Amino acid sequence: MIIIGITGTLGAGKGTIVDLLKEKGFLHFSARDFIVETIEKEEMIVNRDSMTIIGNRLRQEHNPSYIIENLYNRAKETGKNSVIESVRNPKEVEFLRQKEDFILIAVDADIRTRYKRILERKSSTDNVSFETFQENEEREMQSNDINSQNLRACIKESDILVDNSGTIEDFKEKIEEIWKKIEKR
C-alpha cells in the first residue's frame, strides 16, 4: 500500500494529479471535503475564507495534523493505495513522515497560469479577482501559527516537486514518469 500526499500552490494542478492517480486505482481522501463537512454542519457559506477559518479551528481544537490524521486513518483502513489531497501544514507532513510507504508530491506553476486555471474551473471558492487570489495565496503560503496553513514549508518538505506551467499533456507525462519511479520503490 502506498499513500501519496499532495501539496502545492493554489490552482497548480493538485486535482489533476489526484485524477491521474485515481485512474491508477488510488482512492481519494480530500482535506477540502473533510473541512466542507464541518462548514455545512455549521450552516456556513462554503468559500475560501470559511474553509481557512474552519481548517485552522479544527487544528487548534484538536492538533495541527488533525485533518490529515483523520484522512490517513480512513485511507489506512481501506488497505488500498490512496492519495490525500491537500497537505497544508508542516505538522501534517511531520505526522505522515512517520508512516511507511508515504510520499509527498508538491506541484507549482506560474502565478498567472494558476489564476487562469482557477477561473476556468469555476469552483465556488475560486471566483475572485487576481489581487484577492494573490492575497489568499500569500496568507496560505506561510504562517508562524502552528495551526495555520504553511504551504511554503510543506512544499519544501516534499519528496517530489513538479512544475506544471506547461500544457496538460506535459503535466500528464511528468506524472507518468513519477508514477514509474514510485512503482519501482
- Whether residue 181 is contained in a domain is answered as no
- Whether residue 172 is contained in a domain is answered as no
Ordered strands of the 102-108 beta sheet: 27-30, 82-85, 3-8, 102-108, 160-163
Predicted local distance difference test score (pLDDT) of residue 81 = 96
- Whether residue 86 is contained in a domain is answered as yes
- Whether residue 184 is contained in a domain is answered as no
Predicted local distance difference test score (pLDDT) of residue 100 = 86
Q: Tell me the whole-structure pTM to 2 decimals.
A: 0.91
Domain that holds residue 40: 3-166
Predicted local distance difference test score (pLDDT) of residue 124 = 66
CATH number reported for the structural domain that contains residue 82 in this entry = 3.40.50.300
| Other Cβ atoms within 10 Å of 122 Cβ, number | 8
Residue 137: closest CA among 163, 102, 128: 128
| Other Cβ atoms within 10 Å of 161 Cβ, number | 14
Determine the Cα–Cα distance for residues 67 and 56; give it in Å rounded to an integer.
10
- Whether residue 24 is contained in a domain is answered as yes
Q: What is the pLDDT along the chain (185 residues), one digit of tens a residue?
A: 999 999 999 999 999 999 999 999 999 999 999 999 999 999 999 988 899 899 989 999 999 999 999 999 999 999 999 999 999 999 999 999 999 889 999 999 999 999 999 998 877 677 789 999 999 888 889 888 888 889 999 999 999 999 999 999 999 999 999 999 888 87
pLDDT digits (tens, 9 = 90+) for 77-111: 999 999 999 999 999 999 999 998 899 999 999 99
Domain count, the chain: 1
- Whether residue 60 is contained in a domain is answered as yes
Q: Is the N-terminal amide bond of 86 cis, ω within 30° of 0?
A: yes
- Whether residue 175 is contained in a domain is answered as no
